[in-house]
Amino acid sequence: MHGGALVLGNRYFFLGSTFPIAKELDAVVISVEYRLAPEFAAPAQVEDCYAGLEWIFQNASKLGIDPERIIVGGSSAGGGLAAGVALLARDRKGPPIFALKLTYPMLDDCCASISMKQYMNDGWYDGTQNIAAWNMVLPGTRGSKDVSIYVAPSRAEDLSDLPPTCISVGAGDPFRDEDVAFASKLWECGVNAELHVWPGAWHGFDVLAPTAEISIAAVKAEMEWLKRILK
């Protein structure tokens, strides 16, 4: 699923970053178009993505894919949606998800972590912009007890029975702490999880500076994880 803070982008957004996956793994890559805030408030976004998962599962033979080896992933907002879709699939007893690939996922509507405060007004995507985005996604309810775990997966207390998960985030990303906390919760709940925190890297570093040494290392680490999972 594409990024864009749940408020912008489309199915072609950064689609090129998935081409190496399709080529190296001989995989079918499908990008889901989902409704955006503020025109459509939550849970429209995660429900659209879940509908996409169901469609893929139902049409697996036509698409030439193994329905038992569907990997759900996304970057930034798309990573948060991927986590939400996995929770929905678990709780609705929906299509099986083989693995989750979460690249600097947007998980926490509360926006109160140390890293969020560190980068509140610093960077091309910072805490101030993140709060504004969540306010559009959750008008009048952001930070309240009424927010669904499927919309803000960091609120989930039980992450058991989620598929193997890889999380990658930069140390200079406002999402750093919520992503690390999510990985810790996965381990606490007995889920096979891998976490990479890249020193000095900011939000979207692998896309904005794809030739940087650390970006190349991050993309390679995710690819190696995919290869191990799919063996």
> Of these residues, 108, 109, 126, 173, which one is catalytic?
173
Is 48 an active-site residue? no
Distance of CA 202 to the CA centre of its chain: 16
Asked if residue 9 belongs to a domain, the reply is no
Q: Give me the domain span that covers residue 166.
A: 15-230
Asked if residue 10 belongs to a domain, the reply is no
d(CA 171, CA 118): 11
Contact predicate 5/76, CB 8 Å: yes
> Of these residues, 108, 154, 203, 215, which one is catalytic?
203
Read off the pLDDT of residues 29-86 as tens digits, 9 standing for 90 and up: 999 999 999 999 999 999 999 999 999 999 999 999 999 999 999 999 999 999 999 9
Is 203 an active-site residue? yes
Asked if residue 64 belongs to a domain, the reply is yes
Read off the pLDDT of residues 96-142 as tens digits, 9 standing for 90 and up: 999 999 999 999 999 999 999 999 998 789 999 999 999 999 999 99
Read off the pLDDT of residues 169-222 as tens digits, 9 standing for 90 and up: 999 999 999 999 999 999 999 999 999 999 999 999 999 999 999 999 999 999
> Of these residues, 48, 75, 76, 154, which one is catalytic?
76
Into how many domains does the chain fold? 1
Asked if residue 5 belongs to a domain, the reply is no
Q: Count CA atoms within 13 Å of residue 168 on its CB side.
A: 25
Asked if residue 8 belongs to a domain, the reply is no
Asked if residue 150 belongs to a domain, the reply is yes
Is 177 an active-site residue? no
CATH at 81: 3.40.50.1820
